[in-house]
Structure 1
Amino acid sequence: MESLVLMNAYLLPLTGGVLLGLSAMWLLLSLGRIAGISGIAWGSLAGPERVWRTLFLVGLLLGGLVTHNVIGQPVPAESTAPLWLIVASGLLVGLGTRMGGGCTSGHGVCGLGRRSPRSLVATLTFMTLGVITVFVMQSLMGAAV
C-alpha cells in the first residue's frame, strides 16, 4: 500500500514534466519557437504572433483545469501571504525575467535542452537565488514559508 501512495506522489509530477517537455518540443519543431512562458505572455499582448501565443496560454490554463477535474485533487488557490507581498513578488519576478532574458521555462526547460551556456548560467542563478530566498524568508517569517 505504501508503494502505491509513493507511486501516486510521483506520477503527477512525472506526467506533468513529460507533457511540458513534449509541448516545448512540439512548439520548437512546429513553429520554431522556444516555450518560454514570459516571452509568450509578453508577446500575447501585442504583435503579429499574438493569436498562437494567447492560445498557448489558454491551453496551459485549460490543461490545469482539465487535470484537476479528471484527477479530482484540490488545487491550492489560497495564499496566506499579504496582498502587498504577492504583488511585490510578481513585480520582482517580472523584472527578473526581463533582466535575465527569459524565465525558468525558457532557460531551464528549453535552453538546457538545447545546451545553451547562457541558459545554464541563468538556471543555476535561479536555483541558487531560490534557495537563498527560502532561507532568508524562513528566518524572517518562520516556518510558514
Structure 2
Amino acid sequence: MTEFTPFASLFGGIMIGLSAVLLMLWEGRIAGISGIAGRLLPPYRDSAFVSRFGFVVGLVAAPFAMMALTGGAIEQTVSPNIPLMVAAGLLVGFGAVWGNGCTSGHGVCGLSRLSARSFVATGVFMATAFVTVLFVRHAIGS
C-alpha cells in the first residue's frame, strides 16, 4: 500500500501549480510536459529551447534538490520489468499524442482554464488509471 503523505502532496501540488503559472506568465506557454520534452528533439531549435531544456532539467534535478534540503533519501520505486516499462512508455506517448496533450497539460493547465477538451481528457485518463490499477493489483496480482 502506498503511504499517505498529505503535506508532501500539498507541497508538490503547490510547486506544480506555481511552475505552471510562472511558465504561462514568463513564456506565454502551457506547462504540458510531453510538448516541452518533445520540442527538445529535432527539428525544433528555436529561442525557447533553453527554457524548455531548463524546465526538463528541473524535473530531473528536483528529487536531488529535495534530498539535499531534507537530508534524507527519497524512496522511489520503478518496476524491474523492462518489457512492461517499454510498453507503458509507448502507451503513454501514444496517448499524449492522440489526446493532444498529457496529464500535466490537460489535468493541471487545461482544467484551470476550464477547457472542455481537458475535462474530457482528464476524465478518460483518470478512468483508465483506475481500471489499470484495479486490473494489475487484483486480476494479475502484482
Give the partner amino acid of 2:127.
T
Matches within 5 A, 1:11-90: 11-46=7-42, 47=44, 48=46, 49-90=48-89
Q: Between Structure 1 and Structure 2, which shows a larger proportion of helix residues?
A: 1
Is the aligned partner of 1:117 residue 2:119? Answer: no
Give 1:138's aligned residue.
137
CA deviations 1:32-67 (Å, max 9, x no partner) are 000000000001113113221111100122122101
Offset of residue 112 of structure 1: 0.3
Query: CA contact under 8 A between 2:79 and 2:85: conserved in structure 1?
Result: no
Q: Kindly, what percent of the aligned residue pairs are identical?
A: 44
Give the partner amino acid of 1:12.
A
Offset of residue 79 of structure 1: 3.1
CA distance in 1, matches of 2:19, 2:77: 28
Query: CA contact under 8 A between 2:34 and 2:101: conserved in structure 1?
Result: yes
CA distance in 2, matches of 1:138, 1:62: 31
Instruction: Detail structure 1 runs of 4+ shifted over 4 Å in the superposition.
Output: none
Unaligned 5+ runs, structure 2:
none
Query: CA contact under 8 A between 1:44 and 1:51: conserved in structure 2?
Result: no
What is the TM-score of this pair, normalised by structure 1?
0.86
Offset of residue 130 of structure 1: 0.6
Unaligned 5+ runs, structure 1:
1-5
What is the TM-score of this pair, normalised by structure 2?
0.88
CA distance in 2, matches of 1:64, 1:29: 25
Give 1:129's aligned residue.
128
SS in 2 for 1:79: coil
Query: CA contact under 8 A between 2:106 and 2:118: conserved in structure 1?
Result: yes
Query: CA contact under 8 A between 1:28 and 1:35: conserved in structure 2?
Result: yes
